[in-house]
Amino acid sequence: MATVDLFAIGNALIDQEFKVSDDFLIQQHLQKGTMQLTDGETQADLYKKLKETQSYKGQASGGSAANTTVAFSALGGSAFYACRVGNDELGQTYLNGLHEAGIKNTEKSISEGVTGTCMVLVSEDSERTMHTYLGITAELTEQQIDFEPLKTAKWLYIEGYLSTSDSARLAVKQAREIAKAHGVKIALTLSDPAMVQYARHGLDEMIADGVDLLFCNQQEAMMYTETETVEAALAKLKTLSQHVVITLSAEGALISNAQETFNVAGRKVHAIDANGAGDAFAGAFLYAVNAGLGLHRAAQLAILISSEVVSQFGPRLAVADYAELFQQLQKECA
């Protein structure tokens, strides 16, 4: 297996996006801005209500770590994505999306079962609320993962949503052991406030004795550290990770390590859909750091890419758009 820069592990989900009203979220007892796990029958019932009363915006391949890996690959990095899909039409659609973005995968990812789906409900204020049926990805195990590319990778990237699955956490544990044995740096994202609230023990287990790079947003940071300010949260998170990146929505991001702490301003855009923005931020940041561009330039690129994702429907940009935005930033900074 060819060497890759990034080896990522995460859920494989097909997104179904809808523009919804806040009243609809309240009626369906959905907590705005979070991800809620469900079963197939309940999701099917919600899908029917959505189609009848809300505005359908389309289907896209998603999954948090996959969105990150697409951004990383589209910017010029080489990547492998470890996941599990069903032997069905949606599963093939999902894998085709990875291949079109130049991401390596293994046939081990395909198994009997139903590919996971996520109802992405986008409010008028661009906030995304997710209702997820994991399908076969809920049973991701080490048997679906080819760990060989990890041994020569530069980074291992772990999706926080895996914290809800016992088998996935075991696979992550094995991946961490391999990464440490081969000098591969480890990055992890907390993923969602709901993971911090309901799967804290799983996140603790995956972070284990620490990581090299931790991504989270402001709400996740304060919830996870049980603090009331970003500054206090940052101080605690720095005991778990050599580098900490806290996204601050439209205000940009806070980046810190043992040598420096700094803010990078956000970009003013017309926000339409926040789905996938944090994922794209992580992918662009990782690409820039891996390419030796430094933390400041990495944050600038991440903010540029993620702000463009927010400006459209769907969790990903067209593959060619990532590189074009990178070229735009290089010209601006020249």
Quick check: 160 pLDDT over 90?
yes
Whether 1 has a pLDDT exceeding 70, the answer reads no
- Burial readout 91-128 (b: 16 or more C-beta within 10 A, e: otherwise): beebbebbeebebbbbeebbbebbbbbbbbbbbeebbb
Query: How sure is the predictor about 333, in pLDDT bands with cuts at 50, 70 and 90?
Result: confident
Range 63-72 average pLDDT: 96
Averaged pLDDT, 243-254? 96
Q: How high is the pLDDT of residue 332? A: 87
CA atoms within 13 A on the CB side of 66: 29
Type of residue at 223: M
Nearest to 116 by CA among 13, 265, 20, 22: 13
**Residue pLDDT, tens place only, 196-244:** 999 999 999 999 999 999 999 999 999 999 999 999 999 999 999 999 9
Average pLDDT estimate for 181-194:
97
Cα Rg for the chain, rounded, in angstroms? 18
Q: What is the pLDDT of residue 307?
A: 96
pLDDT over threshold 70, residue 309 = yes
One-character DSSP codes across 215-253: EEEHHHHHHHHT-SSHHHHHHHHTTTEEEEEEE-GGG-E
pLDDT in tens, 86-97: 999 999 999 999
Return the pLDDT at 2.
52
Q: What is the mean pLDDT of residues 5-25?
A: 96
Cβ 278 vs Cβ 312: under 8 Å: no
